[in-house]
Structure 1
Amino acid sequence: MKSVRSVASDLGVLEREAGMAMATIASLVDDELGKPTRCEGWTRAHVVAHLVRDAEALTHLATWAVTGEETPAYASAEERAADIERTAAELSARQLAAALDRADRQLAEALARLRSGVAVETVPTPFAGEIDVFALPALRTTELIVHHHDLDTTWQWHEAGTDAIVDAIDICVLRLRANPDSPGLHVVAREGEEWTVGDGATRIEGYYEELLPFLAREEVESGLRHDGDLPALPRW
C-alpha cells in the first residue's frame, strides 16, 4: 500500500527511471524519431509526445489531490490522439526532449507536494480507474518503463530498477482489475509476492522481470511459467 510515508522513496524510484528514459530520448535525432515502435501505428515521436502529455495530466491530478480543487487532467480519447499526432509532427527531436524534461520537472515538483498531506485521497485515471493519490508516482514510473521499452532501442526491461518493476507490476494489476474485459489471473512472483485479478483462473509465475513484460505487453519471457494457454490481455 502506498502512503504519504512512501512518497519520498517512490520519487527516488521515479527519478531514476525518468533519467534513464531521458538519456535514451535525448540521444535520438530527428531521423530516428520517425522509426516505428512497439506501439502499433506510433513512431518514437508519438511515444515521446505521449509521455509529455501524460506528465502534464499527472501534474494536474497531483495538484488536485493537494488543493482539493478539481482540475480536469485528461481530454477525450479523440482529443488526446489528435494532440499527440500534432505534437509529434511539429516538434523536432531536441524540442521533444526539452518538452519532456520540462514536464518531468513540473510533475516531480507537484508529486513532492503530496508529502505535506492531501485534500483528496483518490483521483480518476483513464485506464486504472479511481486511484489512490499516493500511487501517482508509481503510475508515472510504470508509464516510463513501458514506453521506454516501446521505443524499441537497446534498452531492456531488466535495466529498470527492482523497486520500479514491482511498482509497475502493481499498476498493471490495478489496470487489469479496473477493466471488465480482463481475464482471471493469479500472478506469482518467485521473489514472494502474489496478485490476483478476477477469479484468478490462470496462474502465471516468474521473477519480476519475467512477469512485467507479460502484464504490460503480453511478451512471454523464457522463464515465465503458466497453467494452460495464456489469455489475451486488454491493451492500454
Structure 2
Amino acid sequence: MTLTKTTRSLTSDLNVLQRETGMAMATIASLTDDEIAKPTHCEGWTRGHLIAHLALDADAMANLVTWAVTGQEAPAYESREQRDADIEATSQLSATELAKALEQADARLLNALRTLKGGVRTKTVPTLFSGEVDVFSLPARRTTEVIVHHNDLGTTWEWHEADPDATVDAIEVCVQRLQAHPDSPGLHIVAREGEEWTVGDGSHRIEGYYEALLPFLVRGQVDEGLRYEGDSPSLPPW
C-alpha cells in the first residue's frame, strides 16, 4: 500500500488532524516551565525543543502548501542547519510562550491546508526526509508528526489513544520515509488488520497490530504482540 490522498480525502484528513492536534495541545498546555525542561524520547531534545520543532514545522509545511497552491517556490526550510538553529532558539521560550506559539502555528497551517480544496498548481513538493511528496498527503504527514511527538513527550498519553485512521496513515508515512532512506533494511511489514507494506527487498518480516507496528517503525520499540524472524532489524532514526 502507498499513502494515496486526494481532494476527496481532504475533509476527513483535516478532521483527524484537528483531533490529534487538539489532544497534543491539551497535553502541551498543561506543562510547566520545569516540565518542559525534561528530556524526551528524541535524543538530546528537551520537551521545549520538541514543542519548538512542532511549531516551526507547522509553518514550514504551510510554506509548502502555499507553493503548491500558487506555484511560487516557498521551501520549507533554507537548510537543515537553519532549522536546527531555529529550534534551539525557540526552545528557550517559557512553557506558556511555547504553547501559544504552537497553537498559532497550528492555526496557520490548518488555514493553509484548507486552501487545497480549491486546487493546486504544483502536485508535489520537496521535503527534507521523504523526498518529493504529494501535496494532498501533507495533512496525514502532519498528523503523523503530531502523534509521534505527542508520544515522544513522555507524558501519560499512549499510542492507542490515536485515531485508528491516523495510526494507519502514520505507518504508511513511516514506510515511505524508510523507502527513501539509503540505510533502511529490507522489510515486509504485515498488519494483522490486513495491510502489507514492503521496504527494499522485504527480507525481514515484521508482523503485528497497528499499535505495535507504529512504535517499532518510529522508535524501534518492540512491544508485546510484535513478531519478527531472526534478530530485530535496526532502523534509521526518525
Give TM-score scaled by structure 2 length.
0.97
Matches within 5 A, 1:216-227: 216-227=218-229
| 1:20-72 residue CA offsets vs partner (Å, 9 max, x unmatched) | 00000000011100001111111000000000010000000011111111102
Q: Confirm whether residue 32 of structure 1 aligns to residue 4 of structure 2.
A: no
Q: Distance in 2 between matches of 1:197 and 1:153?
A: 31
1:74 Cα deviation from its structure 2 partner: 1.4
1:82 aligns with 2:58: no
- The alignment partner of 2:91 has SS state of helix
Quote the residue 1:41 is aligned against: 44
Residue 29 of structure 2 aligns with an amino acid whose one-letter code is A
1:31-70 alignment, distance < 5 Å: 31-70=34-73
Question: How many aligned positions are there?
Answer: 235
State the alpha-carbon separation in 1 of the partners of residues 83 and 5 from structure 2. 29
What residue is the counterpart of 1:190 in the other structure? 192
2:11 matched to 1:11? no
Match of 1:106 in 2: 108
- Which position in structure 1 is the counterpart of 2:211? 209
Q: Moved runs in structure 1, 4+ residues, more than 2 A?
A: none
3-state SS of 2:188 partner: strand
* Distance in structure 1 (CA, Å) of the matches to 2:77 and 2:184: 23
Deviation at 1:208, TM superposition (A): 0.5
Deviations 1:103-126 (A, max 9, x none): 001100111111111111110101
Q: Residue deviations 1:51-97, cap 9 Å, x none?
A: 001000000001111111110211322211111111111x1111100
In 1: Cα distance, 2:217 partner to 2:112 partner: 28
CA distance in 2, matches of 1:59, 1:202: 37
- Matched residue SS, 1:183: coil
1:55-204 equivalence runs, <5 A: 55-89=58-92, 91-204=93-206
TM-score by length of 1: 0.98
What is the CA–CA distance in structure 1 between the aligned matches of 2:69 and 2:24, rounded to whole Å? Answer: 27
Identity of aligned residues (%): 67
Paired letter, 2:227: R
Q: SS where residue 130 of structure 1 aligns? A: strand
Secondary structure of the structure 2 residue equivalent to 1:171: helix
1:151-170 superposed Cα distances (whole Å, 9 cap, x missing partner): 00111111111001011001
Name the CA distance, whole Å, in 1 between partners of 2:133 and 2:146.
18
